[in-house]
Structure 1
Amino acid sequence: METMTVPGTAVLPTLRIRQATAVDAAALAIFAARTFEETYGKDNRPEDLALHLATAFGPRQQAAELADPHVVTLLAHCDGQLAAYAQVRRAVPPPCVAGRAPIELHRLYIDRPWHGRGVSQRLLAEVRTVAAVQFGGATLWLKVWERNARAIAFYAKSAFVDVGVADYFVGTDRQTDRVLVSTLAGSAPPP
């Protein structure tokens, strides 16, 4: 998509964001599983985490997502190494999402060395573009674990509004996610 240096971050190298292709499936599977485990591993039972990782991530799962015309996966590289990824998709939203033409931000994970260095803001800007331009969306929605205060604060600063809750399963463990929505450029604000 573009190459840029994030302003105000002398130590951040050039950030390049591009759409993933089928050849990225294996590397994405490893990265996605690792960043999920680093984010949520300590808060989940090992057997539930293992079950979730086995069903949500893996080269076959990522290859299927990359081949799905209703899913766009964005990869962010810093100095040639994968630093973050996001997935945008057409999916049926929970009933609390009332905005027009809803598109889901399914995943957004930043590798720990890149936290707080401007990568998430730039990746989210690309997510908004994909949701609006490629999918014709007017509303961007997501689910975030109610105990992930850092992510909730990031999304609140990024103009997302909490509209309700939805279940999320890590293995057999039912957890509660907050459902957040944001209006995409050129659209009316969410209700």
Structure 2
Amino acid sequence: MSSIIIQTAGIKDLETIQNIGRQTFSETFSENNSEEAMKKYLEESFSTEKVQSELNNPDSHFFIAWEEDNPVGYLKVNSGKAQTEMQDETSLEIERIYVKKSYHGKKVGQLLYDQALETARSLQKSYLWLGVWEQNERALNFYRKNGFVEFDKHIFVLGDDEQTDLMMKKILE
């Protein structure tokens, strides 16, 4: 495997973000959700209008992990009013670390997380936070290994199914 490069993404990367987002979300969650619910979620969450709006938001930052010319994952972080919930000026939300299944275990997620940490520090944030599905053991273990602790829960609705996300945070030194 050649080395992975993390690059800042912009509006020119809209289609790449859509494709990685759809593929990785599907790979991770399709076996636990109905085909209809997944189709609706993917269409809405990765529509051109929604992704374009997110990419144009100055409080959201996207980074793509590349192996040569192949995009293998991406990171989306939010500050200020772009945060999905808390909107604390001292925090940075990790909204998405999405890595293609074929790259799991190859440290791509860690590289993207390190980019989130670097972004939080450059923006002088006090802590990172995120929500992760309570049954996504792989992600929970990853975040715990990186020093995150649970502090709350919230409901994530996919189709007609209410799922519980654990809210986790990491205080930055």
TM-score (norm: length of structure 1):
0.83
What is the match of residue 51 of structure 1? 40
Match of 1:78 among 67, 90, 108: 67
What count of residue pairs does the alignment treat as equivalent?
Answer: 170
Alignment check: 8 A CA contact 2:20 2:98 kept: no
Q: In the aligned structure 1, how far is the partner of 2:161 from the partner of 2:122?
A: 36
Identity %: 27
Cα distance in 1 for partners of 2:159, 2:100 equals 23
2:162 counterpart residue number? 174
**Structure 1 stretches of at least 4 aligned residues deviating more than 2 Å after TM superposition:** none
Quick one: which of 120, 123, 130 aligns to 2:119? 130
Flag the structure with higher helix content. 2
Question: Gaps (5+ residues) in structure 2?
Answer: none
Whose radius of gyration is greater, 1 or 2? 1
**Residue from 148, 164, 167 that aligns with 2:152:** 164
What do you get for the CA RMSD once the two structures are aligned? 1.7
Cα distance in 1 for residues equivalent to 2:160 and 2:118: 35
**1:152 is matched with which residue?**
140
The amino acid of 2:11's aligned partner reads: A
Task: Give the TM-score of the pair, scaled to structure 2.
Answer: 0.91
| Structure 1 spans left out of the alignment, 5+ residues | 1-11, 187-191
Partner residue of 2:129 out of 130, 141, 147 = 141
Specify the SS of the correspondent of 1:117: coil
